[in-house]
Amino acid sequence: MMKKIAVLPGDGIGPEIIAQAMRVLEVLKADGLAIDWEFAPLGGAAVDAFGSPYPSLTQNLAREADAILLGAVGGPQYDNLDRPLRPERGLLAIRKDLNLFANLRPAILYPELANASTLKPEVVAGLDIMIIRELTGDIYFGQPRGIAVNELGEREAYNTMRYSESEIRRIAHVAFATAMKRGKKLCSVDKANVLETTEFWKEIMIDVAREYPEVELTHMYVDNAAMQLVRRPKQFDVMVTGNIFGDILSDEASMLTGSIGMLPSASLDENNKGLYEPSHGSAPDIAGQNLANPLATILSVAMMLRYSLGAEAEAVRVESAVKKVLAQGLRTADIYEAGCEKVSCSAMGDAVIAAL
């Protein structure tokens, strides 16, 4: 069965890093993997071409595809557009439209890149956390929301944090299942001492835990979690939390490694259809200069092979190739250190292809 991939290069460095990732897919296809792909715009590129950050062309392609590979969206030239036209609206729209509720964000320290971290080596050596962030609920999408004049005649603004039982239950199952495949430790992050929404979250987590007796479930307040990630990050195996806390903590956790240019992410629906993208942004400051690090995007391809395309062997093949180029001492500017060889985005792509 031929699997179809929707490829959305997006903005900024998106097209460059996607170009290198596509070379990897081309090799796998030439070697017999039954995949096919089609390109479409998302974010600013889509606003430029079709006047919408998630146009129907892209929507149709994304809906029919088995998996989506995304570069990155956003750029300063779009900052003054009306809210519905901003690039990040395209990202939020595709997540919601495709029901991609489970965002998996690994924070892994590659031994070769240990120096890149701002944390002391002994604190982060061997770091391997998987953060599972709920992605289609919470205050990101909750109604009511807006800016209005209140009863006292004063302007005020409001948003609604909201989770239903089924929304929490399904992300809990993803989290526990992930923990079962790893170290069997799950830390659920909440602010149950203040927010009813996360008190409810905690209650459901405890209930679902009964189906996974082997997993050790702990609970941590979000402020403490933000501290513990700095203090003793290796205490964590899998973390699960809501959309807004996950947005903050997953970025903090990636930065612990010092090499966010290495970190992929996956956003999955209930049937393991997923959108895959690097954890970093569109880096407009270096766009078009062949300087970007394509490895997070290439590792996103590996996640796609594993989770959505059922191609575990190919996923391992891609990951091994990435490890090989790191071992060879090749580094893009973002992860460069003295003694290594500084390479461009495309040269890094060349090396990965050679290593495949």
Number of Cβ within a 10 Å radius of residue 336: 15
Q: For residue 302, report the phi and psi dihedrals to the nearest 5 degrees.
A: -60, -45
Q: Does 194 bind ligand IPM (CB under 6 A)?
A: yes
Pairing of strands 185-190, 238-241: parallel
272's torsion region: left (phi>0), alpha (psi -120 to 50) or beta?
left
* Residue 345 contacts residue 18 (beta carbons within 8 Å): no
* Residue closer to ligand IPM (CB basis): 136 or 259: 136
The reply, when asked if residue 105 is annotated as ligand binding, is yes
The reply, when asked if residue 76 is annotated as ligand binding, is yes
Interface residue with its own copies among 54, 101, 110, 140 (CB under 8 A) is: 140
Tell me which residue of 104, 20, 120 sits closest to 352, measured CA to CA.
20
* Residue closer to its own copies (CB basis): 5 or 263: 263
Residues contacting its own copies: total by CB under 8 A: 60
Rounded alpha-carbon distances, angstroms, from residue 10 to 63, 232, 266, 322: 17, 36, 16, 23
**Which residues does 338 contact at the CB level (< 8 Å), separation at least 6?**
none
- Only segment of 61-69, 86-94, 295-303, 343-351 that touches ligand IPM (CB under 6 A): 86-94
Q: Does 190 bind ligand IPM (CB under 6 A)?
A: no
Smallest gap from Cβ 83 to its own copies, in A, equals 8
Interface residue with its own copies among 100, 119, 335, 348 (CB under 8 A) is: 119
Task: From the list its own copies, ligand IPM, none, pick the one residue 123 interacts with, judged by a Cβ distance below 5 to 8 Å according to partner type.
Answer: its own copies
- Only segment of 7-15, 44-52, 87-95, 253-261 that touches ligand IPM (CB under 6 A): 87-95
Q: Does 79 bind ligand IPM (CB under 6 A)?
A: no
- Within residues 184-203, the interface with its own copies by CB under 8 A covers 191, 193-197, 199-201
Interface residue with ligand IPM among 80, 166, 193, 271 (CB under 6 A) is: 193
The C-alpha atoms of residue 35 and residue 315 are separated, in whole angstroms, by 14
Q: For residue 148, report the phi and psi dihedrals to the nearest 5 degrees.
A: -155, 170
Q: Does 88 bind ligand IPM (CB under 6 A)?
A: yes
The reply, when asked if residue 138 is annotated as ligand binding, is no
Q: Does 286 bind its own copies (CB under 8 A)?
A: no
The C-alpha atoms of residue 42 and residue 209 are separated, in whole angstroms, by 38
Smallest gap from Cβ 197 to its own copies, in A, equals 4
Tell me which residue of 298, 294, 304, 293 sits closest to 267, measured CA to CA.
304
Please list the active-site residues.
140, 191, 223, 247, 251
The reply, when asked if residue 285 is annotated as ligand binding, is yes
* Residue closer to ligand IPM (CB basis): 274 or 349: 274
The reply, when asked if residue 169 is annotated as ligand binding, is no
**Which residues does 10 contact at the CB level (< 8 Å), separation at least 6?**
18, 41, 42, 43, 44, 45, 70, 71, 72, 73, 87, 282
Residues at the site binding ligand IPM, with contacts judged by CB under 6 A: 88, 91-92, 193-194, 223, 247
The annotated binding site for substrate is made up of 95, 105, 133, 223
